[in-house]
Amino acid sequence: MNAPERSAAFLLDEDNAEVKVTYASDTKVANAGTFTFNKEDHTMGNLIRMQLLRYSSVRFAGYKIPHPLVHQIDLKIQTTSSNSTPIDALSDAIEDLIGETGALKLEAESAIERWKKENSGVGVIGPF
Amino acid sequence: MSKQREPKIEILSIFPHEIKFILSETDVSVANTLRRIMIAEVPTLAIDLVEYHENTTVLNDEYIAHRLGLIPIKYLDPNTMRGGDCHGAFVPHRECQCFDRCPRCSVEFMLDVDFDKVAADRAENERDLPLTVTSADLQSNNEHVIPAHFLNSEEQDEAHDAGISIVKIGPGQHLKLKAVARMGISKEHAKWCPVAAATYRFWPEITVNDEACSTLTHEQKQQLIDVCPDRILELDEVSGKIIVAENAWELATFTEDLKVLQSTMKKREEDEDFVTVEHSQNKFIFCVEGTGAMDAEDILMSSLNVLSITLTNLRPEIENLREI
């Protein structure tokens, strides 16, 4: 009766004009802000957070899922100086992750090709 | 400043239903994200809508519809002729512009099994035995899309039926339906999950402290080697030292016994361990098993595609925040 549609876990709610990402600058702490990602979960949250922790300009990076029934992530970032804002740090993180995924794709394709060349004939093709 | 990692992949084995590989030089978060995407976000085909013309079987409509939904549906990629990624070939039905359904977003299967009609062709002594309606009776309207009846030829040889059994019918019973398959992801329903199991283990870093080991007697060394249920350690015949077994990385699972035994063997609490086994922080052994709907290597490539698309879609959203 009260169960939400399963697709609400990954589709943005257009009726309520849900946006993917919003940003709220922190009023009390300098160079800090919280990003709210809608319809995301640990899959992206942990990945982005761990990438942010690799930057020397990032003093604090953490994410949480405020409520398990609401599909939303709060990602809080604080940078060391105003030369690099939280948005800059997040932007860099996403760029690096896109680069890493591209490299991983190429690596996977070439690894599979190499293995198939060395082990020709294994793996039967055919619809069962 | 770019802190991009350069991950490496080494394939251990590829079968149609399973792929094992080692992912290295990257963080645990990447391995976990890859695993989560393989389980939840790789798009596949599954029966989503069933229209009944006739059902006089012992199972009711929704029961049979549930079973039909769980049948893995394979998309035969025209280039490779094996269970491939359906992402490019089909459109999710929510996004399709058609009125109700069309060949771009859905595939129709017809099923029509009448016990009395089939009974005429059966052998005399088998005529009254229950007839199993299987996934082999589903007829697709798209030649590239078929139900995945078996994982491999071994399973096919062992099986008694021609496919996945749906319902058993007896004399006078008739099942006639039209099933519509659509593309979806496992987050919406587990029937769209392409994997039976997608797991990764940490690469074990086994280090033998030769200095400390030299203080042990032969019996003590043998004790250390025998306490491991996985047999990851061996005694080198020539030097009499403890060495790590060749395929220790494959076998190592449980090392608590080793730790406990060492704490009793040590002369003082603070002494160093003789053998330490630790998780590697950047090397992982993946094992991905498919259900038969997609080949395991296609599951891996599809999950990398999904990750790439998700990240690429986030980029403009974040750039928009800058302007504000």
pLDDT for position B1: 58
The pLDDT-based confidence of B324 (bands split at 50, 70, 90) is low
Q: What is the CA radius of gyration of chain A?
A: 20
Cβ-based neighbour number of residue A71 at 10 Å: 18
Write the pLDDT tens digit of every residue in B59-84.
999 999 999 999 999 999 888 878 88
Give how far the C-alpha of residue B87 lies from the chain's centroid of Cα atoms, to the nearest Å: 18
Q: Are strands B275-290 and B18-24 parallel, antiparallel or unpaired?
A: antiparallel
Cβ within 8 Å, pair B8-A122: no
pLDDT for position B272: 77
- Of the candidates B10, B156, B314, which has its C-beta nearest A128's C-beta? B156
Contacts of B294 (CB under 8 A, 6+ apart): B42, B44, B74, B75, B83, B84, B85, B194, B302
pLDDT for position B218: 82
Q: What is the largest CA-CA distance in chain A?
A: 64
Reference B20, options B287, B252, B300, B284; nearest CA is B287
- Of the candidates B36, B74, B187, which has its C-beta nearest A9's C-beta? B187
Contacts of B127 (CB under 8 A, 6+ apart): B119
Cβ within 8 Å, pair A101-B319: no
Write the pLDDT tens digit of every residue in B119-137.
888 888 878 889 999 999 9
Write the pLDDT tens digit of every residue in B31-56.
999 999 999 999 999 999 999 999 99
Interface probe, candidates B17, B23, B26, B30, chain A, greatest A C-beta count within 10 A: B30
User: Identity (one letter) of the amino acid at B219?
Assistant: E
Contacts of B315 (CB under 8 A, 6+ apart): A91, A94, A95, A98
Q: Residue-wise pLDDT tens for chain A (128 aa)? A: 889 999 999 999 888 889 999 999 999 999 999 999 999 999 999 999 999 999 999 999 999 999 999 999 999 999 999 899 999 999 999 999 999 999 999 999 999 999 999 887 555 554 45
Paired with B45 in beta bridges are B73, B183
The pTM is what?
A: 0.91
Cβ within 8 Å, pair B3-A112: no
